[in-house]
Structure 1
Amino acid sequence: MTRKLLVVSATAIAVAGGMNSAASAESADLVPIEEGVLQPGPPPVDDETGFLPAPTEEAELPPVSKPKDGPDAEYCQPRNVYKPTANLGKSHWGIGATQANWNDTPRTARSWFKAEVGGEVSLTYSGELKASASVLVAELETKFGVDLSVKLTAKLGNEIQVDTPARKTTYGKYGVWRMKNSGTSYTIYSNCHTSAKSTVTSFTPWYVGWYLWER
């Protein structure tokens, strides 16, 4: 007997830099999210109101003053600093429309999702970031032992297969997984004093993949 799978696949549409609607970021951090594993619901939505694309260059440094003479004189090379403080978990940025397969049979069937739209996802942040995006990425990679990027391109044709139980619908959302972090950014002056420290929250591209859930 052959399997019968009724497929209701939404036609993917491009999403050009649109922001997700606001929701609690804290609740998203408590949800275990693993790529390729069915989740109980759609991707948690982070409130990214006010987030900006990460700067390609660091903030302008103050003029370097001549070190004072004497044994007690302090001098530091002026520089902009970013220090990560916490890993706040994963966040999925979807590209294109959600796809869905409804299994209208009494047996488990196989769902096959294929990316019909591609796009680029860049690092974004809130707060006052003195350092450049590349410095932020390097600091995060060193602290957490991961490979991150300033931006990632999710290409067309990426595919994933998953079992859909009888009388259930499996959903697939293609996009880029990002690491959510908090940190501090400030400037060190030539007299070794620092500027006020700003709390920076960032979403840093991690890898391309799918978010899957079932109802």
Structure 2
Amino acid sequence: MRMAKTASLGSLIAVVLLAGGGPASAEEVPPANTDSTVATAPPDQPEETDLVEGGVSDTPAPAPPAGEDAEASMPSARQCLEGWFYYPTSKTKDYHKGVGVEQANHNGTSRTAKSTFTSEVSGTVGVAATGEVKVSLKQVVAEEEVKFGVTLSASLTAKIGNTISVDTPSRKTTYARYGVFRLKSYGYSQYTYYNCYKGTKKNSTIYTPRRVGWAIWES
């Protein structure tokens, strides 16, 4: 057997393992379903070309609207908590953000062999976003957890030294990448005024850290 690292994967048959092996950290929660999923490529990467890592922050209150939205500054018998709020609308799937380089092991024998991979660097992966997100990371995570019934984090750290072992079939190459799985979701930010009038919706797409783990595939 020979060990190698690869940066260009070509056309591969991917088998994605959702959680890391070896010593577990607090962030590494085993998935409920450990069935492998066969695909024709490594784990999908975000499609957005304007995706910004850490693109979420508090935004000052907008000026009172004018023209057609002048009603926002009119007195009202109702009172609401004024400020920016985030409203998640839907989610898709997890996308893997790698930490460090991809690793590979080719089995040139006539028998199934064991491939062992170890993370060589550590790194922290946070929220990434496209569009306009007007609230804090804490609010985004809290609203998504309630809406989707999942556990998320503002950031997760993939640590050095985590190890996983998998079987590599004869004449096949197994590839591995350690990092963080992030949930892709859609939503919008909207400002609510003291009289309960709501401002313009600011749409966004957000990738929120969900769990640390390995992505494994073979060709």
The two structures share one fold, judged by TM-score above 0.5: yes
The answer on 1:9 being equivalent to 2:4 is yes
- Of all paired residues, the percent bearing the same amino acid is 41
Q: Which residue of 2 aligns with 1:42?
A: 42
Query: Please, which of 193, 201, 205 is the counterpart of residue 189 of structure 1?
Result: 193
The answer on 1:98 being equivalent to 2:102 is yes
SS class of match (1:110)? strand
* 1:63 Cα offset (Å): 7.9
How has the CA–CA distance of structure 1 residues 192 and 142 changed in structure 2, closer, same or farther, with 3 Å as cutoff?
same
What is the distance in 1 between the residues matched to 2:116 and 2:141? Answer: 34
Q: Which residue of 2 aligns with 1:110?
A: 114
Kept in 2, the 8 Å contact 1:38–1:212? The answer is no
Residue type at the aligned position of 1:156 = I
The 5 A counterparts of 1:112-151 are: 112-151=116-155
The answer on 1:55 being equivalent to 2:53 is no
Residue type at the aligned position of 1:194 = K
Q: Which residue of 2 aligns with 1:19?
A: none
Kept in 2, the 8 Å contact 1:67–1:73? The answer is no
What is the distance in 2 between the residues matched to 1:197 and 1:109? Answer: 54
Unmatched tracts of structure 2, length 5 or more? 8-13, 20-35, 65-71
What is the distance in 2 between the residues matched to 1:190 and 1:151? Answer: 33
What is the distance in 2 between the residues matched to 1:80 and 1:92? Answer: 30
Q: Which runs of 4+ in 1 moved over 3 A?
A: 31-34, 36-40, 62-68
SS class of match (2:139)? helix
Q: Per-residue CA shift, 1:99-156, capped at 9, x if unaligned? A: 1111111111111010011111110111111211110000111122222111111110
SS class of match (1:136)? helix
Q: Which residue of 2 aligns with 1:158?
A: 162
Q: Per-residue CA shift, 1:75-122, capped at 9, x if unaligned? A: 222121111111111100011111111111111111101001111111
With the length of structure 2 as denominator, give the TM-score of the two structures. Answer: 0.77
With the length of structure 1 as denominator, give the TM-score of the two structures. Answer: 0.78
SS class of match (1:135)? helix
Kept in 2, the 8 Å contact 1:67–1:75? The answer is no
* 1:62 Cα offset (Å): 5.1
Residue type at the aligned position of 1:120 = T
What is the root-mean-square deviation in Å for CA atoms of aligned residues? 2.6
* 1:11 Cα offset (Å): 8.5
